[in-house]
Structure 1
Amino acid sequence: MPGPDDDRRVDFLDDLEILPDITGDERSEGWGDSDEDSTARLIADRPPHWG
């Protein structure tokens, strides 16, 4: 018969990543954006009345 739960040895794996630090929807790819320069994208998306 095994002993109480307090006597069990638990090994922790410090290098195991259970949850990522940044999720996919926090990255630009999650919003459908590419890795291109955001300044170039903003200039290309400029409205015509801005001249």
Structure 2
Amino acid sequence: MSTEDRRPHPPGDDDRVVDLGDDFVVLPEQTTDDTDRGWGEATGDNDDRLLAERPPHWD
């Protein structure tokens, strides 16, 4: 056994305490580039327009 094997190792990730409480977030639900603003589009809802302009065969 070498002297390197006998030296204590510094604590690794397995020894680290991580608080996984209710407010712990790894990634957000939606990124900023996955929004209208991120795509460079105007913010707003156009569902009413889309429903009014739907094709006749959708009725």
Task: Give the structure-1-normalised TM-score.
Answer: 0.42
Q: Where is the helix percentage greater, Structure 1 or Structure 2?
A: 1
Structure number with greater Rg is 2
Greater RCO (CA < 8 Å, at least 6 residues apart): 1
